Chains A and B, each alone.
Chain A
Amino acid sequence: MSDNNSKTTAAQGPAYGDEGVGADGPGCAVGLKAADYKSGKRPVWCAGCGDYGVLNSIFNALAELQVDPDNLAVISGIGCSSRLPGYIKTYGFHGAHGRAVPVACGVKVANPALTVLTVGGDGDGFSIGGGHVSHACRRNIDITYIVMDNEIYGLTKGQISPTSPVGARAKSNPYGTVESPVNPMLLVLAYGGTFVARGYASQPKQLVQLLADGMRHKGLSFIHVLSPCVTFNKAAGYDFFKERVQDMPADHKTDDLMGAMRLAADESRFYTGLFYKSDRPEYTEGLRRSGRKLEAPPPVDIEAMIHQFS
């Protein structure tokens, strides 16, 4: 890349071994307000789309943590919700369909000082990109993955998604789908995500807290956000979720994986809040401990190394 600017250098230089940067540290800029994170671009989403609520909550969570926009990258795949990086005034990446998670992992591992947000929809994350999520979780790479779940493909104008319920009708399933949906929460819990939470687009106070806590967490944070599509999925609108959304039981312990799975598996309602949190070692730190002393590589005679077999 010809664009080898100072940000790249900063991220690759003192970053290793310096953990007081990004969301975990004090941040560089002071006094940033939620509005300061707005890019000024007008979202293309339909009026009433749940993704507006998610975007606003992200602004507020970033302001709460005073995340320096120069140390923030927002990565997405393809879909309505994947337009989100364009609306945040920071480094954005609008990638390929289903590949947001590996792109984010690539960014984070090479630039561990960055706060990395990964955003996308249920189709992007659990259909075409489903194979990637398990590996990001098991590696426990320190990214915050926000899935805006509307149970439909909106960008292609209404086909069933991997979270559409049995019987859902859409253009690709005019007679009602016979497929069972995936349960993203159960999957991520099973994959080994170390911060697993669910929020709802129209409960901003809770969502901001979950997002901020997720960004603070050292490891893979997964935040499943119920985000209604008012245009193509009228069956799962605000009324539908209002009836089914419920706070986590007060006695749930967030280190209880089996308890979290039981709550995630409850199909009669959508519990919101923090399901599970663990302190399993984070990947980039693990890399460092595994003997790859990236922070202070010993002096190497490149010439001698290249020519050792010649």
Chain B
Amino acid sequence: MARELLKGNEAVVKGAILAGCRAYYGYPITPASEIAEAAARWMPKVGGVFLQAESEIGAINMVYGAAASGVRVMTASSSPGISLKQEGLSYCAGAELPLVLVDVMRGGPGLGNIAPEQADYFQVVKGGGHGSYRLIVVAPNSVQEMCDLTMLAFELADTYRNPACVLTDGYIGQMMEPCSFPTPVTVLPNKPWAVGPGAERRDNLVSSIFLESDALEGHIHHMFRKYAECEKREVRYEEYKLDDAEHVVIGYGIVSRLLKSAVDMARAQGVKVGLLRPITLWPFPTERIRALAEKVENFLVAELSMGQMVEDVRLAVDGRRPVSFHGRVGGNVPTPDDLVQEILKLQGVTHG
């Protein structure tokens, strides 16, 4: 298996090409621009297309069109650009179109800065667009996973005919690590619903409009039956030293790597702590966290935000155990030492 040293943002494009994606529409934004630039370099070499759109809104609607025509297609941006794409994402979800979106999160709100944050959890995982829909969300924590989970995102998007998002941050996007490349996907799913090609698809119409109340309700129920299947089958997470854990730390993306170090350091001081890392943020490992809540004393969630995923952890724990939170924002990250201090505080923290 070939190994290469490359940026996380570049690994995304290699993964996309291996997954059979041959169309990329994007717009420059730091710290995600390398994804567009890598697509500009590599897509033409595999017979694919790259187009620098006039805006993020232009790009997501180009993706909307390409997805409707049945090809594997993607776009990428960073937080403010994702805000602009939300309308298009809602339409794509409503029209049941598979596509992959990559969000290399940076500091906000507003222009914020170009340093890493994880404050797009709400707008990506909980839905930033209008209406009842879900995005399937995967959260890599290494350059290798930027490749692997991008491939997975294409599979999940096609399986559930729904947009999927790779939610990552400026650290993972910009860092360089060795990456091994999986076998390319050679057989792509048939899409009889697509608008073309062929005479039998001539009547196909891609749309998200259902003017009758009952028709729209029926459509939304159909979407949520798919989502229920997805929640049953597709939850992914990583566990680290949870077997005898009395305390559980939870974090995704770059924070999970810091937490792993902190778990080792705290264990060296005799604290029985383990890590749960959600790999899919939706569907969320709710059941696993609920089960842990039956046997551990308490939880600590760490994020590069003022607290977003922590809400899903609290819903899963459902008041059974205390859930504390540690967040840094603005491009700052907690050090493993900071996190060890937070873990030490868990000792003796119980209800009441």
Binds B, one of A151-159, A251-259, A291-299: A151-159
Contact at A156–B80, with CB atoms within 8 Å? Answer: no
Q: How far is the CA of A159 from the CA of B37 in the complex (A)?
A: 9
Which of B29, B36, B37, B56 has the largest number of chain A CB atoms within 10 A? B37
Smallest CB–CB gap between A80 and chain B, Å?
Answer: 12
The answer, yes or no, to whether B28 is at the interface (CB within 8 Å) is: yes
Interface string of A90-105 (1 = CB under 8 A from B): 0000101110000000
The answer, yes or no, to whether B174 is at the interface (CB within 8 Å) is: no
Contact at B28–A153, with CB atoms within 8 Å? Answer: yes
Q: How far is the CA of A160 from the CA of B53 in the complex (A)?
A: 10
Contact at A96–B80, with CB atoms within 8 Å? Answer: yes
Contact at B55–A128, with CB atoms within 8 Å? Answer: yes
Q: How far is the CA of A175 from the CA of B54 in the complex (A)?
A: 19
**Residues of the B chain whose Cβ atoms lie less than 8 Å from the Cβ of A156:** 28-30, 33
Smallest CB–CB gap between A157 and chain B, Å?
Answer: 7
The answer, yes or no, to whether A55 is at the interface (CB within 8 Å) is: no
The answer, yes or no, to whether B44 is at the interface (CB within 8 Å) is: yes
The answer, yes or no, to whether B27 is at the interface (CB within 8 Å) is: yes
Chain B's interface size range is 10 to 19
**Residues of the B chain whose Cβ atoms lie less than 8 Å from the Cβ of A128:** 27, 54-57
The answer, yes or no, to whether A78 is at the interface (CB within 8 Å) is: yes
The answer, yes or no, to whether B316 is at the interface (CB within 8 Å) is: no
Smallest CB–CB gap between A93 and chain B, Å?
Answer: 12
A96-B111, A156-B33, A172-B36 given; A130·B54 CB < 8 A: yes
Q: How far is the CA of A159 from the CA of B50 in the complex (A)?
A: 13
A:48-98 near B, CB below 8 Å: 78, 94, 96-98
Interface string of A20-46 (1 = CB under 8 A from B): 000000000000000000000000000
Interchain CB contact (< 8 A) of B33 among A94, A130, A159, A160? A159
Q: How far is the CA of A157 from the CA of B31 in the complex (A)?
A: 11
**Residues of the B chain whose Cβ atoms lie less than 8 Å from the Cβ of A130:** 54
Contact at B80–A97, with CB atoms within 8 Å? Answer: yes
A78-B111, A172-B28 given; A127·B54 CB < 8 A: yes
Interchain CB contact (< 8 A) of B37 among A94, A96, A172? A172
A156-B29, A156-B30 given; A127·B37 CB < 8 A: no
Interface string of B23-57 (1 = CB under 8 A from A): 00001111001001100110010000010101111
Smallest CB–CB gap between A203 and chain B, Å?
Answer: 30
A96-B111, A174-B40 given; A162·B28 CB < 8 A: no
Q: How far is the CA of A171 from the CA of B37 in the complex (A)?
A: 6
Contact at A173–B54, with CB atoms within 8 Å? Answer: no
Contact at B33–A157, with CB atoms within 8 Å? Answer: yes
Smallest CB–CB gap between A109 and chain B, Å?
Answer: 23
Closest to B57 in A: A128
Contact at A94–B111, with CB atoms within 8 Å? Answer: yes
Q: How far is the CA of A55 from the CA of B50 in the complex (A)?
A: 36
**Residues of the B chain whose Cβ atoms lie less than 8 Å from the Cβ of A157:** 30, 33
Interface string of A126-137 (1 = CB under 8 A from B): 011010000000
Closest to B42 in A: A174
**Residues of the B chain whose Cβ atoms lie less than 8 Å from the Cβ of A172:** 28, 33, 36-37, 40, 50, 52
Contact at B111–A162, with CB atoms within 8 Å? Answer: no
B:138-168 near A, CB below 8 Å: none
Q: How far is the CA of A162 from the CA of B27 in the complex (A)?
A: 12
Smallest CB–CB gap between A134 and chain B, Å?
Answer: 14
**Residues of the B chain whose Cβ atoms lie less than 8 Å from the Cβ of A94:** 111
Smallest CB–CB gap between B47 and chain A, Å?
Answer: 14
Q: How far is the CA of A162 from the CA of B33 in the complex (A)?
A: 17
Closest to B32 in A: A156
Contact at A173–B40, with CB atoms within 8 Å? Answer: yes
Q: How far is the CA of A58 from the CA of B83 in the complex (A)?
A: 34
Closest to B29 in A: A156
Interchain CB contact (< 8 A) of A159 among B28, B44, B111? B28
Contact at A171–B111, with CB atoms within 8 Å? Answer: no
Contact at B44–A171, with CB atoms within 8 Å? Answer: no
Q: How far is the CA of A78 from the CA of B30 in the complex (A)?
A: 12
**Residues of the A chain whose Cβ atoms lie less than 8 Å from the Cβ of B56:** 128
Q: How far is the CA of A155 from the CA of B27 in the complex (A)?
A: 13
Closest to A94 in B: B111
**Residues of the B chain whose Cβ atoms lie less than 8 Å from the Cβ of A155:** 30
Closest to A78 in B: B111
Q: How far is the CA of A157 from the CA of B29 in the complex (A)?
A: 9
**Residues of the A chain whose Cβ atoms lie less than 8 Å from the Cβ of B44:** 175
Interface string of B91-119 (1 = CB under 8 A from A): 00000000000000000001100000000
Q: How far is the CA of A96 from the CA of B36 in the complex (A)?
A: 21
Q: How far is the CA of A127 from the CA of B55 in the complex (A)?
A: 7
Smallest CB–CB gap between B305 and chain A, Å?
Answer: 21
Q: How far is the CA of A94 from the CA of B110 in the complex (A)?
A: 10
Q: How far is the CA of A156 from the CA of B81 in the complex (A)?
A: 13
Interface string of A145-186 (1 = CB under 8 A from B): 000000001011101101000000001111100000000000
Q: How far is the CA of A48 from the CA of B188 in the complex (A)?
A: 51
Identify 13 new A-B residue pairs, CB closer than 8 A, beyond the known A128-B27, A159-B37: A96-B111, A98-B55, A127-B55, A128-B54, A153-B28, A159-B52, A162-B54, A171-B33, A171-B40, A172-B37, A172-B50, A172-B52, A174-B41
Q: List 6 A-B contacts (CB under 8 A).
A: A96-B111, A128-B55, A157-B33, A162-B54, A172-B50, A173-B52
**Chain B residues in the interface with A (C-beta under 8 A):** 27-30, 33, 36-37, 40-41, 44, 50, 52, 54-57, 80, 110-111
Q: Which 4 pairs, one residue from A and one from B, show the smallest C-beta to C-beta distance? A: A128-B55, A156-B28, A159-B28, A171-B37
**Chain A residues in the interface with B (C-beta under 8 A):** 78, 94, 96-98, 127-128, 130, 153, 155-157, 159-160, 162, 171-175
